[in-house]
Structure 1
């Protein structure tokens, strides 16, 4: 059977789609890139916030337009896991609904499917991490995510992930290293470590945080040139981890820390373990140990109870910290979470206005950060060649899809995945311009 997989949401969802693709290929199916030519379409949905839910629903209806003859439409992922029964009743266009724990069953589901009979498959999560075999990469082979755990135990007041993904389950270190070596053998040069909380890695399996030692082991793998850390919780960024980041040349001087807010009042309401002082202390330690560290963070505006004073403090925090990379979301009221029932809900207009104010402020901060790289030579991984003959890539300081690009010229013919030295000659809000050093 020819199968097309449409993926929405975060890198964790992308990896789920890659897992599904690997499972289906080993069962004899073919993964293709054209929904029109497919016998079955799988829409792997996101259900994290309202905008993501709307996008997922719109995409399901888009894919339903391709339905003809005996073509199957299958919906999986977070939205399906969370709202499966409701979606089943409201979307007769969909033949099969399944959750985030059912990808291994796909070959059997397809084999046993009776045409015209709608189905739903929603399993509980395994209590320990279950390996699912080699993935079918969607992303280019030179850059790959590496999931080190599943689920989350943090129980933030606004977040539905524990309801969808279950409790925290670390992968065994030997399984992670085995996959990383296989990725390297297949041409991977950049490993991007992902999880709901990468810094909690190992606590359930080994009784202590093991991210630092895992990273040291990954650095030993030949072929891997860059290792990038995503989704690191501030209160679990240990001195040992900072030391590894500072000393290991393969580890990018980049870290993604979802701080979400800066005032103790709102952090407490969010059920975050961090405090304003702990955040400041961690950032200070990172920047002292790694002077060129680029910190990415995300913030939420308009959380219940956030008043003008809280927002002013948050804005001052952004101005003072000058994060090299910043994303801002306005609070999304998610049913089933404690935050949805809190008093002091902020109007949509104010939430969005506050978000836009922070992002406007960030323009100048990002520009200043980029201008500091003028006349410097930085490593860049090539991603594509533009029509005008220039190349587009990313620096060590930039994660794919979400961060800045480097546009540069080269007298040599380059291929995606090549890592080259580029001298920066111009800087904009979110992009750099350069020339390759020969």
Structure 2
């Protein structure tokens, strides 16, 4: 059977889609690059916040129009896991709903499926991480890849539905992660992006201690890997050992993503976060002392129920004080079934959006200032695409794919995607750099 997979949402969904692609390939199915060619179309959805849910539903109906009339339509991922029972009744166009725990069953499901019969498979999570075998890359390039080191989450933040969708935290065995990293490297991967719902919690459930530093040492030993990037690290688990490994291992990018969410201790407590403004400030100081060139990415939430004007001023003051290199802001999304959804003091949508825009305007100035500090410096850049004659677009080791800055540069020789080059920075913009090949 020819199968097309459409992936929405975060890097963790991409990893799931590539695992599903590997499972299907081993089951004798063929992956195709267009829905019009497929006998079955699978949409791997996101169900994290309202905007993501709306995008997922729009894409499902887009695939209804684009697929062949007799092709199966499969909806998988977080939206299916969370709302599968209701959507099964409301979306008769969908043949199969598949939860986040059911990808290993895909070959069996397709083999026994009867045309015209609608089905749903929404299994509960397993108690341990279930390995799915070798992935099949679906992104069209092999030089960068995410590697998921755990599933689920134990943090139970008051605004978040992930524990209800994905279950409790389950770490993968170190040897399985390293084996996958070697497989990815053999396929051409040079940048490894380490991900989980809470990457810094790795190993606590499986080994009884925080083991991310040990895992990173193992990954650094994979010879072909050149950059290792850390995403989704919670501040309260960023230990001195982790910082020491980051600072001492050349392959680990001096870059870390820390979802801080807020700076008002009152709001952080309402969020059920384990950090305070003081602890975040201390952790950032430790990171910057150990790695003066480190670029820290964070995300914030504006407009949690009960957030006052004073709380927001505290957040603005914090952003100005910390001057993060990379920062994004979400307007709070009221998600049914979460404690925050039932809180008093829901903030008006207009106010939430205005607060979001205020912080992003502040960050734009901070980003421009920090980019200007890079002018005249030489940085290592990963080439991603050609942008015209003698012009290319790439990323530095301080930038994650798709969400961070780009480096636009000129070169007098032909370059290939995945190549590493040294670029002298000649100009700076709000969120991008310009330069020339040395």
Per the shorter chain, which TM-score range? over 0.9
* Structure 1 segment 106-255 matched on structure 2, within 5 A: 106-139=106-139, 140-255=141-256
Partner of 2:387: 386
Partner of 1:356: 357
Could you say what secondary structure the match of 2:388 adopts?
A: coil
Distance in 1 between the 2:69 and 2:290 partners?
A: 61
Task: State the Cα deviation string for residues 233-259 of structure 1 (Å, max 9, x = none).
Answer: 000000000011111110000000000
Distance in 1 between the 2:95 and 2:390 partners?
A: 46
1:372 equivalent to 2:343? Answer no
Distance in 2 between the 1:310 and 1:49 partners?
A: 23
Distance in 2 between the 1:26 and 1:260 partners?
A: 41
Partner of 2:319: 318
Runs of 4+ more than 3 Å apart: none
Distance in 2 between the 1:35 and 1:355 partners?
A: 37
Shift of 1:67: 4.0
Partner of 1:40: 40
Shift of 1:69: 3.6
The answer as to whether partners of 2:150 and 2:197 remain within 8 angstroms in 1 is yes
Could you say what secondary structure the match of 2:17 adopts?
A: helix
Shift of 1:97: 0.6
Deviates more, 1:31-40 or 1:225-234: 31-40
1:327 equivalent to 2:328? Answer yes
Distance in 2 between the 1:277 and 1:66 partners?
A: 52
Distance in 2 between the 1:413 and 1:133 partners?
A: 37
Could you say what secondary structure the match of 1:65 adopts?
A: helix
Task: State the Cα deviation string for residues 223-280 of structure 1 (Å, max 9, x = none).
Answer: 1100000000000000000011111110000000000000100000000000111000
1:338 equivalent to 2:336? Answer no
The answer as to whether partners of 2:410 and 2:436 remain within 8 angstroms in 1 is yes
Distance in 2 between the 1:17 and 1:401 partners?
A: 18
Shift of 1:95: 0.6
Could you say what secondary structure the match of 1:386 adopts?
A: strand
The answer as to whether partners of 2:38 and 2:67 remain within 8 angstroms in 1 is no
The answer as to whether partners of 2:35 and 2:67 remain within 8 angstroms in 1 is no
Distance in 1 between the 2:346 and 2:389 partners?
A: 50
Shift of 1:377: 0.2
Task: State the Cα deviation string for residues 80-123 of structure 1 (Å, max 9, x = none).
Answer: 00000110000010011110001111111111111001111111
Partner of 1:81: 81
Cα RMSD between the aligned structures?
0.7
Partner of 2:61: 61
Shift of 1:389: 3.1
Partner of 1:9: 9
Partner of 2:290: 289
Distance in 1 between the 2:24 and 2:81 partners?
A: 20
Task: State the Cα deviation string for residues 361-410 of structure 1 (Å, max 9, x = none).
Answer: 11110001111110000000000111333111000000001000001111
Distance in 2 between the 1:61 and 1:338 partners?
A: 31
Could you say what secondary structure the match of 1:345 adopts?
A: coil
Partner of 2:398: 397
Task: State the Cα deviation string for residues 157-215 of structure 1 (Å, max 9, x = none).
Answer: 00000000000000000001111111111111100000000000000111000001111
Distance in 2 between the 1:243 and 1:68 partners?
A: 54
Distance in 2 between the 1:368 and 1:89 partners?
A: 52
Partner of 2:93: 93
The answer as to whether partners of 2:390 and 2:414 remain within 8 angstroms in 1 is no
Shift of 1:220: 1.1
Unaligned stretches of 5+ residues in structure 1:
none
Could you say what secondary structure the match of 1:144 adopts?
A: strand
Distance in 1 between the 2:226 and 2:44 partners?
A: 31
Shift of 1:217: 1.3
Distance in 1 between the 2:234 and 2:302 partners?
A: 19
Shift of 1:33: 1.1
Could you say what secondary structure the match of 1:416 adopts?
A: coil
Partner of 1:431: 432
* Structure 1 segment 273-312 matched on structure 2, within 5 A: 273-312=274-313
Distance in 2 between the 1:317 and 1:276 partners?
A: 8
Distance in 1 between the 2:347 and 2:270 partners?
A: 14
Distance in 2 between the 1:85 and 1:427 partners?
A: 50
